[in-house]
A and B are shown apart, each in its own frame.
Chain A
Amino acid sequence: MSTQTLINPPSIWKRLWRRSHGDSPLKRALIHAILIFACIVAIYPAIRVFSVSLRPGDRLLSTSLDLIPQDATWANYQRLLFQTDFFLWVWNSLLITIVTSLAGVLLAATAGYAFSRWKFPGRAPGLILLLTTQMMPAVMMLIPTYLMFVEITRTFGVPLVGSYLGLIVAYMMGSVAFSIWILKGYYDTIPIDLEEAAKIDGTSELGAFYRVILPLSTPALAIVFLFNFTYAWVEYPLARVILPKAESFTWTLGLRSLQSQFNTEWGTFAAASVLVAIPSLALFLWSSKWLISGLTIGSVKG
């Protein structure tokens, strides 16, 4: 704080000028033009959804390209909140997502450590198996998983098909494998000397993991939690197969059901999109720094 106030900071315009120095003004204008165009392309569909959500019911299907309609209204939001199961969908999604993410972190934290620190028999096949699960699209595992769940539901009476428990179990396949992979990559970057020092100080191998490595890995554990969260939060095909009934819909299924009722629900759909997209966008942008570094921690090390 004190060092900053001692030096007279250059004004913001000076800083902007200095930062943009290097290209000729014409070239800079061109670059800005391209980037602004790209930004408009990137953001325009999102703004359109917002504008549709504000339109009154009789003008939903309009050919106008206005962004804020002249007779803007909140009617679509009222309809969404009071006449559809929007809250139910979001609640189901939240439950499924949180449990999936927690289970992924819980199971992967120790497994990733085992892969990182020991050369036990079966390590290489295990790692290849983990990679294979990442290449395996969820749709391909859908037939056996679905039929297996049907059998379990029938034989043991555990309702895996048609309940969010089944969906949590199904999501765990993707989340556990991915979490192990990322966490193994992160543990690899922690020098083994730390545990050795802890062991010399008298703790056991497990104690070193629990007292030294886990606290150091909090950022990586948070990244893994966030990754699993975003994976389960936006997943569609598995949910569609495992949750056929409307009372256990997640928001992805709910939004789809709004849109498939042809044109009538277009405004409600847009309102729902806005309400889901704002927290999702905020979460992503807020965590993007760590998410992107997380991508490079584990999977693309080279």
Chain B
Amino acid sequence: MASLSVTRARTLPMRVLGEMDWKSVGRNLPMLVVAGATIWFVATFLPQQQRLSPEYVVQSATDVTKFTLGLVAFVAALEIALYIVLVRMLHWQYALPYMLLAPAAIVMAFLFIYPFFYNIAIAFSNRSLQHFLPGTYDYSLQYGIENFTSVFTDKVLHDTGFWEVFFRTWAWTIINVFFHVLGGLGLALLLNRPLALRGIYRTILVIPWALPQVIAALSLRGEFHYEYGFVNNMLVALGLPRVQWLGEAIPAFIAATLSNIWLGIPFMMVVILGGLQSIAAEFYEAADMDGASAWQKFVNITWPLLQPVVAPATVLGTIWTFNAFNVIYLITQGGPAEKTDILVTALFKSAFEFYRYGQGAAFAIVIFFALFSFSAAWIKISGALKAVNE
């Protein structure tokens, strides 16, 4: 018996090595290399840091652990309380689902439902920089009416009114989503053909989406610099005059749009490529037999069969573009002279640069309804996102 266990102990490491999934190790090798390099890098340079002292590391890690443990304790206490009330006392048939749901429901109530109604309350108050501390502001219907009418009649920014920003936002959204779908469709159609190096192209083309948006936006902002950005230097190399990209209204809008198109095409490309690959080849074989041209095949087979994929992706893309805060705020900052602000950046500025909380809250409700009515109408028309009613 003893000898048996000895042999087992000796062979175990060999067996583990022999049975390890080397292929999966190979597949994940790039990630492992990056992770290893990161750890080495941090271990080498961390000790020479000034601000990130060991005390701060310990302190912040403790804080965060306490927070996590607190959350777990809260969930546990909640579950015990619910168990006693719902199961032991009420014997309710839906006790279990409500117990499963309760922690998330409380978080959502605290972080979404309460702020949502609080936002409405703020819209009916005179809160601002002067009326910030409790006791200095109050709520009344009069303030609410003033706030809502001021959104439409007064300036929402320093000197730009609501409608100008509203129409610019829709122009921005429509132009962007149109080019996202067009570019994504074009690239996906090319990548869907039998082609060498397809995987490499696909990986490279996804990079604008994979890059953190803040990095992409801030770097593109530098590239639109009048003298040193590559856009202008490229224009000069082609024998064209330089453009004041960020200094004038229309070039700044074009710069932001180009950046956002660049950022948004990969998502559409990937989604549409997935849709193209799910279309059965038989459709095209039948069309070939009938002598259909490439264009006829596209109009009658590809495009209609892509709709289940393209429709929800367009809704998502529209919502994302409508809310493209980072792109506008980090590239043009809404400038020059507020000529490239869209609704969400205007809202951010009205609350956190001009400190008009009351008007800002009213503004937020107006924007919400604009977006919500669009989404509702689109969902109704296209039948996307059916899952809710099943």
A residues with CB within 8 A of B: 16-17, 19-23, 28, 31-32, 34-36, 38-39, 41-46, 48-49, 52, 61-65, 81-82, 85, 87-88, 91-92, 95, 99, 102-103, 106-108, 110-111, 113-115, 117-118, 120-121, 124, 126-129, 131-148, 151, 154, 163-165, 168-170, 172-173, 176-177, 180, 185, 205-206, 233-234, 236-237, 241, 247, 252, 255-256, 259, 266, 269-270, 273, 276-286, 288, 292, 295-296, 299-302
**B112 pairs with A236, CB closer than 8 A:** no
What total count of A-B pairs have CB within 8 Å?
A: 325
> With the chains together, A38 CA to B37 CA distance in Å?
30
**Closest CB in chain A relative to B212 CB, distance in Å:** 4
Question: Which residues on A sit within 8 Å (CB–CB) of B210?
Answer: 280-281, 284-285, 288
**A281 pairs with B96, CB closer than 8 A:** no
- Judge if B211 is at the interface, Cβ distance under 8 Å: yes
Q: Mark B36-64, 1 if CB is under 8 A from A, else 0.
A: 00100010011011111000110011011
Question: Which residues on A sit within 8 Å (CB–CB) of B201?
Answer: 35-36, 38-39
**B233 pairs with A65, CB closer than 8 A:** yes
Question: Which residues on B sit within 8 Å (CB–CB) of A269?
Answer: 218, 222
**A144 pairs with B361, CB closer than 8 A:** yes
- Judge if B170 is at the interface, Cβ distance under 8 Å: no
**Closest CB in chain A relative to B297 CB, distance in Å:** 14
- Judge if B329 is at the interface, Cβ distance under 8 Å: yes
- Judge if B2 is at the interface, Cβ distance under 8 Å: no
**B68 pairs with A99, CB closer than 8 A:** yes
> With the chains together, A107 CA to B290 CA distance in Å?
55
> With the chains together, A288 CA to B270 CA distance in Å?
10
Contact of B31 among A92, A113, A237, A283 (CB under 8 A): A283
Closest-by-CB residue of A relative to B308 is A302
Given A35-B201, A144-B116, A173-B112, A48 and B63 contact (CB-CB distance below 8 Å): no
**B323 pairs with A19, CB closer than 8 A:** no
Question: Which residues on B sit within 8 Å (CB–CB) of A17?
Answer: 196
Question: Which residues on B sit within 8 Å (CB–CB) of A276?
Answer: 212, 215
Contact of B326 among A145, A236, A286 (CB under 8 A): A236
Q: Which 7 pairs across A and B sit closest by C-beta, in order of nearness? A: A111-B104, A144-B115, A173-B111, A137-B323, A284-B210, A118-B97, A114-B100
- Judge if B82 is at the interface, Cβ distance under 8 Å: no
**A286 pairs with B28, CB closer than 8 A:** yes
Question: Which residues on A sit within 8 Å (CB–CB) of B179?
Answer: none
> With the chains together, A136 CA to B344 CA distance in Å?
11
- Judge if B118 is at the interface, Cβ distance under 8 Å: yes
In the assembled complex, 21 residue pairs joining A and B whose CB atoms fall closer than 8 Å, in A order, are A31-B195, A39-B201, A65-B230, A82-B48, A82-B49, A82-B50, A103-B68, A110-B101, A114-B97, A120-B98, A127-B387, A135-B371, A140-B367, A176-B107, A177-B108, A247-B51, A255-B214, A269-B222, A273-B219, A286-B31, A300-B316
B residues with CB within 8 A of A: 28, 30-31, 34-35, 38, 42, 45-46, 48-52, 56-57, 60-61, 63-64, 67-68, 71-72, 75, 94, 96-98, 100-101, 103-105, 107-108, 111-116, 118-119, 122, 127, 134, 187, 190-191, 193-198, 201, 203-216, 218-223, 227-228, 230, 233-234, 236-237, 262, 266, 270-271, 274, 308-309, 312-313, 316, 319, 322-323, 325-326, 329-330, 344, 347-348, 351-352, 357, 360-361, 364, 367-368, 371-372, 375, 383-389
Question: Which residues on B sit within 8 Å (CB–CB) of A300?
Answer: 309, 312-313, 316, 384-385
Closest-by-CB residue of B relative to A233 is B212
Closest-by-CB residue of B relative to A283 is B31
**A43 pairs with B204, CB closer than 8 A:** yes
**A31 pairs with B364, CB closer than 8 A:** no
**A88 pairs with B28, CB closer than 8 A:** no
Q: Of residues B71, B108, B187, which shows the largest number of chain A Cβ atoms within 10 Å of its Cβ?
A: B108
> With the chains together, A252 CA to B214 CA distance in Å?
6
**B194 pairs with A19, CB closer than 8 A:** yes
Question: Which residues on A sit within 8 Å (CB–CB) of B344?
Answer: 137, 139-140
Closest-by-CB residue of B relative to A179 is B104
Question: Which residues on A sit within 8 Å (CB–CB) of B191?
Answer: 35
**A169 pairs with B111, CB closer than 8 A:** yes
Question: Which residues on B sit within 8 Å (CB–CB) of A295?
Answer: 271
Q: Of residues B111, B220, B223, B316, which shows the largest number of chain A Cβ atoms within 10 Å of its Cβ?
A: B111
Question: Which residues on A sit within 8 Å (CB–CB) of B388?
Answer: 124, 127-128, 131
**A87 pairs with B219, CB closer than 8 A:** no
> With the chains together, A221 CA to B228 CA distance in Å?
46
Question: Which residues on A sit within 8 Å (CB–CB) of B219?
Answer: 45-46, 48-49, 270, 273
Contacts A137-B344, A278-B34, A300-B312 aside, 20 further interface pairs with beta carbons under 8 A come to A21-B194, A31-B195, A42-B207, A46-B207, A48-B230, A61-B228, A87-B51, A114-B101, A138-B325, A140-B119, A140-B368, A147-B127, A164-B63, A168-B67, A173-B112, A185-B387, A234-B212, A279-B35, A288-B210, A292-B271
> With the chains together, A55 CA to B191 CA distance in Å?
36
Given A172-B107, A176-B104, A34 and B228 contact (CB-CB distance below 8 Å): no
**B190 pairs with A34, CB closer than 8 A:** yes
**B212 pairs with A288, CB closer than 8 A:** no
Given A85-B52, A165-B67, A302 and B384 contact (CB-CB distance below 8 Å): yes
Closest-by-CB residue of B relative to A39 is B204
**B104 pairs with A107, CB closer than 8 A:** yes
**B203 pairs with A285, CB closer than 8 A:** yes
Question: Which residues on A sit within 8 Å (CB–CB) of B223?
Answer: 45, 48
